[in-house]
Amino acid sequence: MADATDLPLAGAPPRWRLVKVIRLLAVPWRDPFAAMGTLIYATFLLIALFADVIAPYDPLEILFTPDGNLARSAPAGWQHPLGTTNLGRDIFSQLVVGTRAALVVGLTAAVAVALIGTLVGLISGFIGGWVDALLMRLADVALGIPFLPFVILIAGLLGPRTSNVIVGIALLLWPNTARVIRSQVLTVRERAFVEAARVTGASNARILFVHVAPNILPLSFLYGSIAVGWAILTEASIAFLGFGPSDRISWGYMLQDAYASQALSRGDYNWFVPPGLCIVLVVVAGFFISRGYEEILFPKLKD
């Protein structure tokens, strides 16, 4: 009997569809790298959900010592686990609340990138002809636009809002997903189960979204997980350059604040190292998860 991963998801019996979906979801726990990436994402997600409970102070609140002095550049301790900034703000509270902003941008942008790239890749690869040529030329144009300057331009023209940063990321990151999805669709559309669907009189829309699309969903998930890290890194870069919302705490905002305050020259490593480490962990987590899905996406690489 064939292995569940060898059967096309759309053409398999219902029992095999369920088995394949379970195997797909279980991949991160069979690979140590993917498991680590999943745990990193899960940890940050829990922190973001319970940020208001975990953070001991308002991240923008200016704190004072019991004797009435400004609690500026206080060292790490029980009261302030990561110390305070030069304005007396609690760094740990900013780090915790910044997790929420990072995940909002990362997850929203990743969904947008995966959705746009998947739809463009499906339509381009399945229909072909002038539609394929037009969509791929649009992808070439998007790939030729400098990424960070374009997002800065969007933020500058439309305002320093999180939604505008997400729009800029989605407009330029989808071509990579679309190109890979398109190449996969070109092979899937020639398989026997697709031809069988055509013979039975299935419409092109039904063939595309019911028979072809399920077989490229793992690739969409893969590029979506990678886009999370890129989106968070971009948001941090935008905030660091001063084009992010001034009233929203993020890891990039913390780095920009530390840079403007010359935290490095003063040796305040507890101010800028934690947010920088969080950004690195999120980006690496996306790579770890994609590494775990190689077994399903590229089974010939197992040997």
The pLDDT value recorded for residue 47 is 93
In the block, which residue shows the tokens 């190292």? 273
Q: Is the pLDDT of residue 298 over 60?
A: no
Q: Is the pLDDT of residue 3 over 70?
A: no
CA angle 274, 276, 279 (to 5 degrees): 110
Nearest residue to 99 via CA among 145, 156, 41, 143: 41
Calculate mean pLDDT across residues 186-205. 80
Average pLDDT, the chain: 80
Please give the residue that has the higher pLDDT: either 13 or 112. 112
**Are 88 and 72 a contacting pair, CB within 8 Å?**
yes
The pLDDT value recorded for residue 1 is 35
Q: pLDDT of 167-183, one tens digit each?
A: 888 888 888 888 888 88
Q: pLDDT of 38-63, one tens digit each?
A: 888 889 999 999 998 998 898 888 88
pLDDT bin (cut points 50, 70, 90) of residue 88 is: confident
Q: Is the pLDDT of residue 156 over 90?
A: no
Q: Is the pLDDT of residue 204 over 70?
A: yes
Q: Is the pLDDT of residue 85 over 50?
A: yes
The pLDDT value recorded for residue 23 is 56
Q: Residue 150 has which token pair?
A: 């374009």
The pLDDT value recorded for residue 277 is 92
Please give the residue that has the higher pLDDT: either 151 or 6. 151
Q: Residue 246 has which token pair?
A: 């001034």
CA angle 100, 52, 164 (to 5 degrees): 30
Residue 37 to residues 34, 41, 47, 57: CA-CA distances in angstroms? Answer: 5, 6, 16, 29
The pLDDT value recorded for residue 295 is 59
Please give the residue that has the higher pLDDT: either 138 or 128. 138
Report the C-alpha gap between 186 and 176 in whole angstroms. 16
Q: State CA 173 to chain mean position distance.
A: 11
The pLDDT value recorded for residue 243 is 77
User: Which of 6-15, 150-159, 294-303 shows the highest mean pLDDT?
Assistant: 150-159
The pLDDT value recorded for residue 126 is 85
**Are 136 and 266 a contacting pair, CB within 8 Å?**
no
Calculate mean pLDDT across residues 75-102. 88
DSSP 75: P
* Least-confidence region, from 18-22, 224-228, 249-253: 18-22
Report the C-alpha gap between 96 and 93 in whole angstroms. 5
Distance in angstroms between the alpha carbons of the first and the last residue of the chain: 21
| DSSP helix/strand/coil, 56 | coil
Q: Is the pLDDT of residue 281 over 50?
A: yes
Q: Positive or negative, the Cα torsion across 68, 73, 74, 80?
A: positive
The pLDDT value recorded for residue 164 is 83
User: Which of 48-52, 146-150, 242-246, 296-300 shows the highest mean pLDDT?
Assistant: 48-52
Q: Which fold has domain 52-302?
A: MetI-like fold (1.10.3720)
CA angle 71, 76, 81 (to 5 degrees): 100
Report the C-alpha gap between 285 and 227 in whole angstroms. 11
The pLDDT value recorded for residue 294 is 63
